[in-house]
Structure 1
Amino acid sequence: MPRTFTAILAFILAALFAISPAFVPDFGGFNPDQFPVPQVDPAVQPAGYAFAIWGPIYLWLIIGMGFGLWKRREDAAWHPMRVALIPSLAVGAIWLAVAVASPVWAAVLIWIMLITVLIALFRSPVDDKWFAALPLGLYAGWLSAASCVSLGLLAAGYGYTDGTTAAIAAILLALVIASGVQSQLGRAPSYGFAVIWALVAVVVQNIATNTTVAALAAGGALALMVPTFKAWRSAQ
Structure 2
Amino acid sequence: MPSNRTLVAALAFLLSIAFAASPFFVEGFAGFDPNQFPVPQDDPPVQPAGYAFAIWGIIYGWLIIGLGWGLLRATQDGQWHDMRKPLCLSLAVGTTWLAVAVMSPVWASVLIWVMLLTALAALFLAPVEDTTWAAWPVGLYAGWLSAASCVSLGLLAAGYGYLDQTTAALAFVGLAIVIGGFVQGALGRAPTYGVAVIWALVAVVVQNIETTPILAYVAGGGALVLVVPTLKAFRS
TM (norm. structure 2) is 0.98
Q: Give the AA of the match of 1:103.
A: P
CA deviation after TM superposition for structure 1 residue 76, in Å: 1.1
Aligned 1:118-157 pairs, distance under 5 A:
118-157=120-159
Aligned 1:52-201 pairs, distance under 5 A:
52-201=54-203
Question: Which one of 210, 213, 230 corresponds to residue 212 of structure 2?
Answer: 210
Listed one character per residue, the Cα deviations across residues 88-128 of structure 1 (whole Å, up to 9, x for unaligned) are 00000010000000000000000000000000000000000
C-alpha separation in 1, matches of 2:170 and 2:189: 29
Q: Give the AA of the match of 2:108.
A: A
CA deviation after TM superposition for structure 1 residue 216, in Å: 0.4
Provide the residue aligned with 1:5 in structure 2: 7
Q: Are the aligned partners of 1:129 and 1:187 in contact in 2 as well (CA < 8 Å)?
A: no
Listed one character per residue, the Cα deviations across residues 173-208 of structure 1 (whole Å, up to 9, x for unaligned) are 111111111001122000000000000000010011
Structure 2 gap ranges (5+): none
Identity, % of aligned positions: 68
Runs in 1 of length 4+ with deviation above 3 angstroms? none
C-alpha separation in 2, matches of 1:200 and 1:178: 14
C-alpha separation in 2, matches of 1:176 and 1:2: 37
Aligned residue pairs: how many? 234
Aligned 1:216-231 pairs, distance under 5 A:
216-231=218-233
Provide the residue aligned with 1:233 in structure 2: 235
Q: Give the AA of the match of 2:224.
A: L
CA deviation after TM superposition for structure 1 residue 2, in Å: 1.0
Q: Give the AA of the match of 1:11.
A: F
Listed one character per residue, the Cα deviations across residues 128-175 of structure 1 (whole Å, up to 9, x for unaligned) are 000000000000000000000000000000000100000011111111
Q: Give the AA of the match of 1:202.
A: V
CA deviation after TM superposition for structure 1 residue 78, in Å: 0.7
